[in-house]
Amino acid sequence: EAGVVQSPRYKIIEKKQPVAFWCNPISGHNTLYWYRQNLGQGPELLIRYENEEAVDDSQLPKDRFSAERLKGVDSTLKIQPAELGDSAVYLCASSSGQGDGYTFGSGTRLTVV
């Protein structure tokens, strides 16, 4: 079974440019999460989806960040415009809602210069 797939793996952009990250969760997992992990810190939730509905986006900086999960499967996280402080690893995870299983993708390491 394929895991959570994220792309790109690395991204370097100049500040004020837009950037987008893509996540394909494990098949059948209804819940999808986007986390941001700053260097040397633990991941922090940006947004949680149940199917195509964003059920918790309280930590998403809505002035520049947006996310969507069309058809309740793949998800895209966008930043426009990017700032230097957005440099971080963006992790996607998914869960079936049962048991103890959360599966994380390998993350996208964003560097804003």
Partner 1 sequence: AQKITQTQPGMFVQEKEAVTLDCTYDTSDPSYGLFWYKQPSSGEMIFLIYQGSYDQQNATEGRYSLNFQKARKSANLVISASQLGDSAMYFCAMREGTYSGSARQLTFGSGTQLTVLP
Q: What is the C-alpha to C-alpha distance for residues 28 and 60, in angstroms, rounded to an integer?
A: 25
In 82-103, which positions are buried (b, 16+ CB within 10 angstroms) versus exposed (e)? beeebbbbbbbbbbeeeeeeee
Query: Taking CB under 8 A as the rule, does residue 41 contact partner 1?
Result: yes
Position 100 contacts partner 1 (CB under 8 A): yes
| Least CB distance to partner 1 at residue 81 (A) | 25
Nearest to 34 by CA among 43, 42, 26: 43
- Among 20-28, 60-68, 77-85, 100-108, the segment contacting partner 1 (CB under 8 A): 100-108
21 binds partner 1 (CB under 8 A): no
Structure tokens at 112: 């804003």
Q: What is the per-residue binding string for partner 1 in 60-89, x denoting contact by CB under 8 A?
A: -----------------------------x
Handedness of CA 36, 79, 68, 58 (dihedral sign): positive
Rule CB under 8 A: choose which of 13, 20, 22, 31 binds partner 1.
Answer: 31
Residues at the contact surface with partner 1, assessed by CB under 8 A: 30-31, 33, 40-45, 48, 50, 55-56, 89, 91, 93, 95-107, 109
